[in-house]
């Protein structure tokens, strides 16, 4: 074997695994960064904060299915760890490299040196130190295995030295790589045939069954298998936020997103069901609105790759353990007929959806000024490109888009924050890197946009052309209801100052930072502004001035 430096080994292995971008705040693995330029075409995207770099890698992973790679030196490691929380909650494959203490300086008070590795433990599937340069090849291979197998997730490797200087040493190890671990899912475990048969029989026996499909189905590419099975058995489909793009809105079986950031019709259908088929979802608090939808005691079939998940939140009549797509395909291959009596239930679900459409149609087309956020969602439903990747922030942004925006084309994708405000904008930059040939549209509020506004400059400097829609009401008005309760009634000056901010023209800021800025103040101006943004070859910030008094609808509960 020819001797190589650790930096050369890392560069060759990342290239071999198909990595196209790494996201970082320097200085970390400096020699590796140089070797990436010399030996590969991997782009090195330098962000303004470590958490942003992690969010970019997360967006890259969710858009491409390949592990996102992010890096930070020792002093920035804790910021990077914070950025892994959303990927951990969303089960996104990521690999994080950081610097850390070295044997010769440990416990001697070296400038900036703290061992931050314990902080990564809660947010990673694997959290390890590469303490010998000869271990670089096998530890990196194991990182890709851990990130992409089972339920995917983040991995952390700490390299000794504040900048991870371990990569300067020469090693004899061969930089092998394993292509099957280059994307998730690396493997597709098949479910037991008996479990598949019993699940289908249980669905046939139910009078009012409903699917609740989540991110596991999306990650496995199981949307088509889900729809085929649902149509064959005549079962309506609700989704979690993570599964929003699994079924098109115009499919008669689609009832919307269920749970907390949800659509009323979906919660109503799931609440009336006598059997819920959880597919690729852990049935956690957001998807079930704190375990109120479906009602406790409702019969359940659960399909999941992780046997520990099944029955955790709702006891399951039948458990199907395996890759979501493989399981759904196997169930569909049984070609079980739809019971004749299912027509009554389907008519009921369509009526609930029609009621929702009638209730919200006026506000989705509202001409009010300041602009209603519902109008933005209605416009985006009609104007979104057929192959767009849509990223939505959490908070009100997640509520507006989760409940009111519809997917109308099979080539569209939807990716949402798993709970961290400000995630969507840097994640959209990473998503564009992971899917450069597709339009990427981010929807966030001004409160979320403030978190990582510096990354406008990053997108401009690296020419990463995303479209970012800022629902700009100069406030974090999702907090209004809570503060009103705390202050004993309607908003006071004292309570409003906790969630109302100075009006700011984000379009003007975007222009100053090298991006395209477009400000929209009237609803009729949104469509031409969005069309202009989509045609731009530069990053665009679409600053939409909206009504601060508009509050997203709360979840319907039984």
CA distance 379 to 397: 15
CB crowding 2-31: b at 16 or more within 10 Å, else e: eebbbbbbbbbbbbbbebbbbbbbeebbbb
Read off the pLDDT of residues 421-449 as tens digits, 9 standing for 90 and up. 999 999 999 999 999 999 999 999 999 99
Read off the pLDDT of residues 343-402 as tens digits, 9 standing for 90 and up. 999 999 999 999 999 999 999 999 999 999 999 999 999 999 999 999 999 999 999 999
Read off the pLDDT of residues 64-79 as tens digits, 9 standing for 90 and up. 999 999 999 999 999 9
Tokens of 224: 């088509």
| Residue 109 banded pLDDT, cuts 50, 70, 90 | confident
Asked if residue 360 belongs to a domain, the reply is no
CA dihedral 316, 202, 278, 188 (to 10 degrees): 100
CA distance 510 to 457: 8
**248-256 contacts at long range (C-beta below 8 A, 24 or more positions apart):** 248/407, 248/408, 248/409, 248/410, 249/381, 249/406, 249/407, 249/408, 250/408, 251/227, 252/346, 252/350, 253/227, 253/346, 253/349, 254/353, 255/210, 255/349, 255/352, 255/353, 256/353, 256/356, 256/403
Query: pTM to 2 decimals?
Result: 0.96
Statement to judge: residues 407 and 492 lie in one domain: yes
Q: Which of 432, 441, 426 is nearest to 464 (CA)?
A: 432
Packing angle of the helix pair 193-205, 324-333 (nearest 10 deg): 70
> Among 144, 160, 181, where does a domain finish?
181
Opening angle at CA 85, ends 79 and 91, nearest 5: 140
Statement to judge: residues 331 and 449 lie in one domain: no
With a CB cutoff of 8 Å and minimum separation 6, the contacts of 222 are 216, 246, 279, 280, 323, 324, 325, 328, 329
Statement to judge: residues 107 and 201 lie in one domain: no
Read off the pLDDT of residues 508-557 as tens digits, 9 standing for 90 and up. 999 999 999 999 999 999 999 999 999 999 999 999 999 999 999 999 99
Statement to judge: residues 172 and 204 lie in one domain: no
Rounded to the nearest integer, the mean pLDDT of the chain is 95
Q: Among 226-230, 478-482, 485-489, name the one with the lowest average pLDDT.
A: 485-489
What total of structural domains would you count in the chain? Answer: 3
Backbone φ, ψ for residue 70 (5° rounding): -135, 155
User: If you ran DSSP here, which 8-state letter would residue 546 be given?
Assistant: B
Where residue 34 sits, what CATH number does that domain have? 3.40.50.970
CA distance 365 to 347: 27
pLDDT of 106 higher than 80: no
Q: Are strands 170-171 and 4-5 parallel, antiparallel or unpaired?
A: antiparallel
Statement to judge: residues 517 and 384 lie in one domain: yes
| pLDDT score for 114 | 82
CA distance 321 to 340: 29
Helix, strand, coil abundance in the chain, percent, nearest 5: 45, 20, 40
CB 171 within 8 A of CB 4: yes
Statement to judge: residues 346 and 377 lie in one domain: no
CB 47 within 8 A of CB 25: yes
Asked if residue 357 belongs to a domain, the reply is no
CA distance 338 to 464: 48
Asked if residue 438 belongs to a domain, the reply is yes
Asked if residue 359 belongs to a domain, the reply is no
Statement to judge: residues 152 and 271 lie in one domain: no
Q: How far is CA 28 from CA 34, 42, 253, in A?
A: 11, 16, 50
**Which residue reads 């416990």 in tokens?**
107
Statement to judge: residues 227 and 125 lie in one domain: no
Tokens of 408: 């109308």
Statement to judge: residues 382 and 520 lie in one domain: yes
Where residue 273 sits, what CATH number does that domain have? 3.40.50.1220
| Residue 108 banded pLDDT, cuts 50, 70, 90 | confident
Q: Among 153-162, 205-214, 220-229, 304-313, name the one with the lowest average pLDDT.
A: 304-313
Asked if residue 556 belongs to a domain, the reply is no
| pLDDT score for 102 | 83
- Identify the sign of the CA torsion 543, 548, 552, 553: negative
| pLDDT score for 174 | 79
With a CB cutoff of 8 Å and minimum separation 6, the contacts of 46 are 24, 25, 26, 458, 462
> Among 140, 159, 181, where does a domain finish?
181
Asked if residue 356 belongs to a domain, the reply is no
Quick check: helix, strand or coil at residue 221?
coil
Distance of CA 321 to the CA centre of its chain: 23
Q: Which of 186, 224, 157 is nearest to 93 (CA)?
A: 186
pLDDT of 266 higher than 70: yes
**495 HSE (CA, 13 A, CB side):** 16
β-bridge partners, 100: 160, 161
Give the residue numbers spanning the domain of 324: 193-350
Asked if residue 17 belongs to a domain, the reply is yes
CA distance 181 to 188: 12
pLDDT of 1 higher than 80: no
Asked if residue 208 belongs to a domain, the reply is yes
Q: Which of 80, 121, 124, 89 is nearest to 417 (CA)?
A: 89
> Among 294, 320, 350, where does a domain finish?
350
């Amino acid at each position: 074997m020819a001797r190589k430096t650790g930096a050369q080994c890392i560069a060759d292995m990342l290239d071999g695994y198909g990595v196209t971008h790494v996201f970082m705040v320097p200085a970390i693995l400096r020699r590796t960064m140089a070797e990436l330029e010399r030996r590969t075409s991997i782009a090195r995207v330098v962000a303004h904060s470590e958490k942003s770099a992690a969010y970019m890698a997360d967006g890259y992973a969710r858009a491409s299915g390949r592990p996102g790679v992010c890096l930070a030196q020792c002093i920035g490691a804790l910021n990077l760890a914070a950025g892994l929380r959303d990927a951990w909650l969303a089960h996104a494959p990521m690999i994080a490299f950081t610097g850390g203490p070295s044997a010769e300086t440990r416990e001697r008070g070296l400038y900036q040196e703290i061992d931050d590795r314990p902080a990564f433990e809660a947010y990673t599937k694997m959290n390890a130190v590469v303490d010998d340069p000869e271990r670089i090849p096998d530890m990196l291979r194991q990182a890709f295995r851990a990130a992409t197998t089972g339920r995917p997730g983040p991995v952390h490797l700490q390299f000794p030295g504040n900048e991870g200087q371990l990569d300067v040493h020469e090693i004899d190890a061969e930089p092998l790589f394993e292509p099957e671990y280059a994307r998730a899912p690396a493997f597709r475990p098949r479910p037991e045939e008996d479990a598949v048969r019993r699940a289908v029989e249980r669905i046939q026996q139910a009078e009012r069954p409903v699917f609740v499909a989540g991110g596991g189905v999306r990650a496995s590419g199981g949307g088509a298998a889900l729809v085929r099975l649902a149509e064959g058995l005549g079962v309506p489909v609700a989704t979690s936020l993570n599964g929003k793009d699994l079924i098109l809105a115009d499919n008669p079986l689609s009832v919307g997103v269920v749970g907390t950031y949800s659509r009323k019709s979906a919660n109503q259908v799931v609440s009336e069901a006598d059997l819920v088929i959880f597919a690729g979802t852990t049935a956690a608090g957001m998807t079930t609105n704190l375990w109120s939808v479906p009602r406790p005691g409702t019969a359940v079939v659960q399909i999941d790759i992780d046997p520990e998940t099944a029955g955790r939140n709702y006891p399951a009549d039948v458990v199907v353990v395996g890759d979501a797509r493989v399981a759904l395909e196997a169930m569909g291959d049984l070609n079980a007929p739809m019971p004749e009596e299912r027509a009554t239930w389907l008519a009921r679900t369509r009526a609930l959806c029609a009621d929702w459409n009638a209730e919200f149609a006026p506000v989705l087309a509202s001409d009010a000024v300041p602009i209603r956020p519902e109008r933005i969602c209605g416009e985006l439903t009609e104007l979104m490109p057929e192959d767009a990747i849509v990223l939505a922030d959490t908070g009100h942004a997640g509520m507006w888009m989760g409940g009111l925006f519809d997917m109308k084309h099979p080539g569209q994708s939807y990716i949402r924050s798993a709970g961290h405000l400000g995630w969507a904008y840097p994640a959209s930059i990473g998503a564009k890197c992971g899917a450069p040939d597709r339009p990427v549209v981010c929807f966030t509020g001004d409160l979320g946009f403030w978190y990582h506004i510096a990354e406008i400059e990053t997108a401009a400097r690296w020419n990463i052309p995303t479209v970012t829609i800022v629902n700009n009401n100069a406030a974090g008005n999702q907090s209004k209801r809570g503060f009103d309760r705390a202050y004993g009634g309607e908003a006071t000056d004292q309570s409003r100052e906790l969630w109302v901010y100075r009006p700011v023209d984000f379009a003007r800021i975007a222009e100053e930072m090298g991006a395209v800025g477009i400000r929209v103040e009237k609803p009729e101006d949104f469509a031409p502004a969005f069309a202009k943004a989509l045609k731009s070859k530069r990053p665009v910030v679409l600053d939409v001035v909206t009504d601060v008094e508009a509050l997203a609808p709360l979840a319907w509960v039984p």
